[in-house]
Amino acid sequence: MRLSHYAVGRDNNFTLLRFSAAMTVLFAHSIGALGLPPETEPVFRRVGFSLGEMGLDALFVTSGFLVTASLVNRGDLISFFWARALRVYPALWVMLLLTVFVLAPALTTLPLHDYFASDMTWSYFAKCGTLLGGIRYSLPGVFDTLPLKGEFNGSLWTMPVEVRMYIYVAVLWVAFALLPALRSKGMRFVSVVAVALFFVIVLRGRFSEGAFNGANIRMFMYLYGSALYLWRDRVPMGVGTLLALLAALVVASFDRTTFLIVYLLAMAPFVLHLAYVPGGRIRRFNDWGDYSYGVYIYAFPVQQTLAFLFPALTLAAMMASSAAVSLAIAIVSWKLIEERALEHKDDFAAKTWRLFNLGLARMGVTAGPDPST
């Protein structure tokens, strides 16, 4: 059976998988928030990178797969960009308003006038609110005494990478606009080349003496997930393949170099097997809501706040308390902001198309039918 057989409809485990991945990132960050060494995590000691990094990779694999599917199935960039923008920005902006203008002023060691007068405050809000050209990490006078000194919401560093990948996929789509008959084959070819290129870049980065760029492996995972969607009619799936991938990862974990190579090759298909192969009652998680994004964008400032207020917290207490608080906030974010924003994506796309066609009509150009209707 092939991946294309599974990759239809919404009956899958992506919601549970992404939530679990966001939680692993939270648990991994608990170690850093308390100033504990990375070796505190058994996974890090064994293979050289943390469970949190694996959670990030799972998020980027699923994002690459689902975002590419969204573009291919929608078939037009306006609908695609509205879907992406409404998934990312409304919840992000509310989070920034709450953390930059409510939480941080309550915790800063500076007088409030100095905090709000600082260019750092407004630069942080602007950069993190647009996700263009990177983010800012610190707010004036906040968390300067913690082990993760001055880091207010370190998790956001991946968000500009994610948005950049949306743009890359869209550019690839547009590049074949004049040759729609070759679009599928062209995108397949480019996807394989891109995955192979980043595979080499990641390996060279890991084994060279220079600083390792974590963004490269995230982009590799995104591109790998995207390529697997484009090649879905050729990708084998099944319980046997799932067990073989798991066995390969376990066996390879006895040597760090071997594990890295096997991990890069096996992680993306392994994640997609977890998303599609297990069935039954586990699928009921989809009915609860998608809380992964809320957990991801709120967990870091929650953990830093807990570390600031309760410096004697144990690791177990940090994990449990930050998970509970972050999940509670994520549920509210999903119910009040994210879910409601996503309900308008088709309406906004249709209105944008009407404005676009109206503008062309005034110039005497015929644009053709509105693809969003």
Contact yes or no for 313/24 (Cβ under 8 A): no
Q: Is residue 140 part of a domain?
A: yes
> How large is the average pLDDT for residues 238-260?
95
Cα dist from 286 to 19, 90, 238, 272, 279, whole Å: 11, 22, 22, 16, 12
Which ranges in 208-338 belong to alpha helices (H)?
214-230, 239-252, 256-276, 292-309, 315-333
Report pLDDT digits (tens) over 100-140.
Answer: 999 999 999 999 999 999 999 999 999 999 998 899 999 99
Q: Is residue 10 part of a domain?
A: yes
Split into its structural domains, the chain has a count of: 1
pLDDT recorded at residue 362: 65
Q: How far apart are CA 341 and CA 320, in angstroms?
A: 30
Q: Is residue 169 part of a domain?
A: yes
Structural domain that includes position 256? 3-342
Q: Is residue 114 part of a domain?
A: yes
pLDDT recorded at residue 353: 86
Q: Is residue 352 part of a domain?
A: no
Mean pLDDT for all residues in the chain: 92
Count the residues in the chain.
Answer: 373
Q: Is residue 205 part of a domain?
A: yes
Q: Is the pLDDT of residue 373 over 70?
A: no
Report pLDDT digits (tens) over 311-370.
Answer: 999 999 999 999 999 999 999 999 999 999 999 999 999 999 888 777 666 665 544 445
Q: Is residue 156 part of a domain?
A: yes
Q: What does 67-125 look like in DSSP terms, one character per residue? A: HHHHHHHH-SHHHHHHHHHHHHHHHHHHHHHHIIIIIHHHH-SS-HHHHHH-HHHHHHH
| Helices 14-33 and 315-333: angle between axes, nearest 10 degrees | 140
Tokens of 139: 């707010």
Phi, psi of 49 (to 5 degrees): -145, 160
Q: Is residue 363 part of a domain?
A: no
Contact yes or no for 64/223 (Cβ under 8 A): yes
